[in-house]
A and B are shown apart, each in its own frame.
Chain A
């Protein structure tokens, strides 16, 4: 390991995260021939097949592609929740697969916000407590935790629903709680797997406006999986997956 990457790694694991913008020209995220293989032998399934990808700080990227094309698999690896079977994933120039279990947890804690396709909220726990949770692990004091969680819920239009548990919320409301939980920490990278999958068009547009605002005003890099061209149109760049490969990667036109 070179001195440069060692210091990059150290910078990655300390809190607060370096305030300086990313060095110009260096990608925030980079996939180098990343593959993910499920199963073995004849049953082996290549969910990702030698993907190369670079995403710069401040980008707003939409990921599209047919069901089963590997979008969620790629997002999980980008979110440091899963490890590639082959290839390398660099986050701010540091190869994530060389990090320990705890170092990856710190990376997630300091940099990432993740919205799961299946929400993954804690059952029987109020919306407010769900949104507070990442702040508890960040040691935010109680009053600050409450204020920020309330603000995040307000941003997704859930003022008044703080005390409801996931079981008492609709799919769309749960999805918005999941979004609030991901943005409450003001991450530098927001990964959202179909954040509008359960929302009506009006709500979807509101959420997209929120993401655009976070991207534009706070410089948060956003990666979002979507099936809807209308939502993808909010992004600066659209990446198409097909059969575990990047089929198309290009500029989009901006909001319709």
Chain B
């Protein structure tokens, strides 16, 4: 019986190339879209986690005011170098810290210009933030004390302003000052999620304060915590010390913020997880649409095939033989579509992951779910309408045109 059903089903598949192709296509699209979206979402989540790690996960960022990120409008007082000295002296958990002042400035070299983030700081910045030099050198004592303007540039700035030329020794124009490029940073290479760590220019704090900011403010203190020390504890200690130094009355809100980059990491990964959920929802919709496509083709073809069912019944087929044939046909087409869909999805995911610079994260559960769902749709909508037709008197089935 099964052998006969296989024979008949394969004849039908061969006989109706277009219809078979469309059914397979519906399954392929449904399966492929879900797998691709979920895979990319998972990849993005992992990318963010890795990226945060590369910034240094035992890193605390102390900013004035309660806002985070650039463009802050807080009227809270800035820090000064005294604060950094006090922090280093009084909190033993601090391994190193770097005072900074930052601004977004358009850097110009010849005809090329590039808006970047300029960071006035000192040599400790590089160790606190895990930067290594590709070539050149760090700032000299005379440069740090406000002598000749010098700067170290990130890979993105280098690419945008110098292209293939060697930037070392060239001058970079920042507003009204010109500074010599003395060092090139090794790229961190993570530029997904709209956040490019390599897009920066580093210069001595003193030079930045005098010639760009025009004040003595330190707006950001980046602190690295010793291995084995609790960042949580260090954070509390820093907060207590700074409240004291900045004379924040008890019960009043902090006029600064201390952010643990681990928290930021958790927050950002949380965001991408939301994104993954969203993508999965979109994917579920496409799976459903794919399913409706399969359903339509199956329903239309069964109506069309009611006459065929009538003929088969008239020449002696039993109801269950006709059904077995339709079942085999639906299972074959759905499985074929499922397998092709999975292959397509894996190919597309690997390609897209590469293009979007997110890692390829394989998720077996979703592959299985997508496959089973599409196959079930194909089988259910291939089988049940056929069953209705096969229960008719042959002459009834033959009359349905």
Contact = CB atoms under 8 A, between A and B. Distances in A.
A133 B15 CA distance: 14
Contacts of B396: 82
Interface residues on A, range: 20 to 34
B20 to A, nearest CB: 12
Nearest to A139: B4
B316 A134 contact: yes
A134 B307 CA distance: 16
Interface in B158-202: none
A181 B315 contact: yes
Contact of A82 (B7, B317, B391, B395): B395
A152 to B, nearest CB: 13
A190 to B, nearest CB: 13
A108 B315 contact: yes
Contact of A114 (B16, B307, B315): B315
Contacts of B395: 76, 81-82
A105 B319 contact: yes
A201 interface: no
A196 interface: no
A30 interface: no
Contact of A109 (B11, B16, B316, B393): B316
Contacts of B317: 105, 109, 137
A79 B308 CA distance: 18
A11 to B, nearest CB: 18
Contacts of A108: 313-316, 394
Interface string A94-108: 000000011001101
B265 to A, nearest CB: 61
A120 B8 contact: no
Contacts of B308: 122
A83 interface: yes
B312 interface: yes
Contact of A120 (B16, B314, B316, B393): B314
B315 A81 contact: no
A251 interface: no
Given A136-B7, A136-B8, A125 B15 contact: yes
B49 interface: no
A124 interface: yes
Contact of A81 (B8, B320, B321, B393): B393
B310 interface: yes
Interface string B308-344: 1011111111111100000000000000000000000
Contacts of A134: 315-316
Interface residues of B, number: 26
Contacts of A129: 11
A106 B320 CA distance: 12
A92 to B, nearest CB: 17
A216 interface: no
A112 B313 CA distance: 12
B313 A105 contact: yes
Nearest to A125: B15
Interface in A116-165: 116, 120-122, 124-125, 129, 133-134, 136-139
Given A81-B393, A124-B15, A102 B314 contact: no
Contacts of A133: 312, 315
A139 B1 CA distance: 9
Given A76-B395, A81-B393, A102 B4 contact: no
Given A105-B319, A137-B316, 12 more contacts: A82-B393, A102-B318, A102-B320, A105-B313, A109-B315, A120-B310, A137-B4, A137-B312, A137-B315, A137-B317, A137-B321, A181-B315
29 contacts: A79-B314, A81-B394, A81-B398, A82-B394, A82-B395, A83-B393, A101-B319, A102-B318, A102-B319, A102-B320, A105-B313, A106-B318, A108-B313, A108-B315, A108-B394, A109-B315, A110-B316, A114-B315, A120-B398, A121-B311, A122-B311, A124-B16, A129-B11, A134-B315, A136-B4, A136-B7, A137-B312, A137-B318, A138-B316
The 3 closest A-B pairs by CB, nearest first: A109-B316, A82-B395, A81-B395
